Structure 1
């Protein structure tokens, strides 16, 4: 086969492939990381109180009886900053808490009265 014939065959193959319908793009594979905000999951404070963040809902429960202590909502302010608006069922008060995600396992929080606490990811 000479050069002209080979080149003509290559060009014909390219032209034929450009006429073929496009195959659908492969779907992205599911990520092993959970979807949603980075804070979603269970967190515990130094007293063993468990807080749960799940799709914009926030709750805090006692570890001994699983009693609901506080509930509310949270919003993502940035990839590492979160604002919780909650009602304490123990004190019957509403408050706002700002939390900074320091690492995948640590959340540093400040209440609207300047109280500070740290939550550690469970699991």
Structure 2
């Protein structure tokens, strides 16, 4: 391999490393380094602070923040890059649930139930 070719290869590899570090890094400045979450997967809390929902690996669950009792469970499907459809069962009412959510920022999901009720979920750090 010629010196010029080695330099081009090394340069390309260094550029790729910088790009990957930017995608995987959690941001600068002291404290813990945690990746910025994108998409709908994560832990979310309702506006009243009573229910903690987890959206991960195709599974949706909600537990009461005070007792840890499971309130709802189900599954979800991404319907776009910033939208998700969640279906499942309310364990309290023993009734089906269904709602659509739109990721309006990395920390806020705006949701509408199949009955038309609107609510907001905030990403839990």
The TM tier, using the shorter chain, reads 0.7 to 0.9
Question: How far is 1:103 from its partner?
Answer: 0.4
> Deviation at 1:86?
1.3
2:40 and 2:80 mapped to 1: Cα distance? 12
Please, what TM-score do these two structures have when normalized by structure 1? 0.73
**Structure 1 residue 39, shift from structure 2 partner:** 1.1
- Determine helix, strand or coil for the equivalent of 1:65: coil
Larger Rg: 1
RMSD: 2.5
TM-score under structure 2 length normalisation: 0.72
Please identify runs of 4+ aligned residues in structure 1 that moved more than 6 A. none
CA–CA distance in structure 1, aligned partners of residues 118 and 59 of structure 2: 21
Q: How many residues align?
A: 105
TM alignment of 1:84-123, pairs within 5 A: 84-123=86-125
Unaligned 5+ runs, structure 1? 1-12
- Tell me the distance in 2 between the aligned counterparts of 1:120 and 1:93: 24
Name the CA distance, whole Å, in 2 between partners of 1:108 and 1:96: 14
Trace 1:22-101 onto structure 2 (pairs within 5 A): 29=20, 31-32=24-25, 33=35, 38-48=39-49, 49-101=51-103
